[in-house]
Amino acid sequence: MTMTQTSNKKNIPPAKRSVEVADILREHIKDYQEKYPLLPHQYKIVSDLLNCRTAYLGGHVKKCDHCGAERITYNSCRNRHCPKCQNMPRERWLNARKAELLPVCYFHTVFTLPHDLNPIIVHNRKIMLNILFKSVAETLFSFGHNPKNGLGGKLGFIAILHSWDQKLNLHFHLHCLIPGGVMTEDGKHWKPCKNRYLFNEEALGLVFRGKFIKCLTEAYQEGTLSFPGIIAPYEKPQIFSELKGRLYSHKWVVNVQESINHPEYVLEYLGRYTHRVAISNHRILSLKEGTVTFTYRNRKTNQIRWITIEAVEFIRRFLLHALPIGFVRIRHFGFLANRHRTNNLIRLRSLLGPLIAINETAEQTLREMMLLLTGIDLTICPYCKKGKMQSLGEIPRYTGLSAKQIIRSPIPLRIAA
């Protein structure tokens, strides 16, 4: 069941109450399990989201020193897939990256995989997504090292994995933030991009396609890919060869956006893609009669529209984007790679000059960050607005309704990540 409607404030159905992903899971996860298996890594996500900010995780009791009002705050699950737990980590990450900005133009570049690969990626997620990062990095490095492109040195960039589109369907792509220039191999000079131009999109797409298919073929020949269920035919050399033929026939999409002068604005934009799950709670409009209504942006018309789907289908799409355990979706490359980033930035700043406009605020406390972002002082009593909230003690974990009473244990299937 799917319905869409063009956006206009008049025809977007109003939500009677605030609906969260956890509400949908709580009411319909059993219905989902009747239709689909819940894999172990998905079980952990569902369990955390159901228990987030509930008595099950414990919490703290605080009392106002002025009016005597008491307040209980429950602990967060801190799962990276939780829509409620990523605002503060994102702000800390953004502050740390702002402190590393260089006074140069930046480029936002997106590398997208063809949808023909989606079934194989789903069953070989860790291997295939590592190939995506590797092929994008090798593509950008090859263009950066090539003096014919006007550079001839080492690029530095941040790559962020995205696996969804606005309707929560599979759409694997990498967002890259690239400073407009390279560091020479001896580390003594900075070579900027000429005329605020990075690289040709079509040429990037051709090289990206070649490098990805080469790595994919090597993984197939080494036997590291698995082909269960509906993708079993791809295990046959002839069918796999036909898949490669289709991939070569596609034009692989690489989008190099125009350069941006103010890197702090670029980071704010990029922050939308860092510590974010497939959907934010504020996009969910309603949950009723087994259906979920949420908003999405039509990229062609730039309009806000809404879509209604069955709750089980919503959960299926949400869990499609569960990352493998331990998988890193934000990676730094070149002169911004973690190992030598600090030394490289010190050297480049000596060549380019520091970016004075950016304040280094990575060490802000939670209270300071909340005050800056929302204007709310967490220490002020929310009732009398005069007193300070003083801690009375902690509430131990596991005192509330366990998620195990809502969802069944996962099916112990061994499926390659």
Each residue's pLDDT tens digit, 341-350: 999 999 998 8
Residue 103 has pLDDT above 80, yes or no: yes
Q: Which residues on adjacent β-strands are paired with residue 307?
A: 4, 294
Determine phi and psi for 132, rounding to 5 degrees.
-60, -50
My answer on whether 216 and 68 are in the same domain is no
| Number of domains forming the structure of the chain | 2
Judge whether 94 and 85 are in contact, CB under 8 Å. no
Rounded CA-CA distance 354/100 in Å is 10
Taking each helix axis from N to C end, the angle separating 311-319 and 40-51, rounded to the nearest 10 degrees, works out to: 110
On whether both 53 and 129 belong to a single domain, the answer is: no
Query: Is there a contact between 386 and 66 (Cβ–Cβ < 8 Å)?
Result: yes
Same domain, 66 and 135: no
In this prediction, residue 321 has a pLDDT band, given cuts at 50, 70 and 90, of very high
pLDDT in tens, 151-176: 999 999 999 999 999 999 999 999 99
Co-location of 32 and 72 in the same domain: yes
User: Quick one: pLDDT at residue 2?
Assistant: 53
pLDDT reported for residue 417: 42
**The predicted structure's pLDDT at residue 211:** 97
Question: Which of residues 64 and 363 earns the better pLDDT score?
Answer: 64
> Which of 212, 251, 220 is CA-nearest to residue 238?
220
Phi, psi (degrees; rounded to nearest 5) at 226: -115, 150
d(C-alpha 326, C-alpha 260), whole Å:
33
The answer to whether residue 87 sits within a structural domain is no
Task: Confirm whether 116 is domain-assigned.
Answer: yes
Largest Cα–Cα distance in the chain?
77
pLDDT at residue 4 greater than cutoff 70 = no
- Output DSSP code: residue 288: E
Which of 69-83, 132-146, 187-201, 290-304 has the highest mean predicted lDDT (pLDDT)?
132-146
Which residue range(s) make up the domain with 230? 94-278+325-352
**pLDDT-based confidence at residue 179 (cuts at 50, 70, 90):** very high
The pLDDT of residue 125 is: 94
User: How many helices and strands (H and E) does the chain possess?
Assistant: 11, 14
pLDDT band at 206 (very low <50, low <70, confident <90, very high): very high
Same domain, 62 and 101: no
Do residues 72 and 169 both lie within one domain? no
Spatial distance between the Cα atoms of 49 and 25, rounded to a whole number of angstroms = 8
| Residue 242 in domain | yes
Asked if residue 145 and residue 244 are part of one domain, the reply reads yes
pLDDT per residue as tens digits for the range 33-64: 999 999 888 999 999 999 998 888 888 888 88
Q: Contact 18/358 with Cβ under 8 angstroms?
A: no
Asked if residue 116 and residue 45 are part of one domain, the reply reads no
What CATH number is given to the structural domain containing 136? 3.40.1310
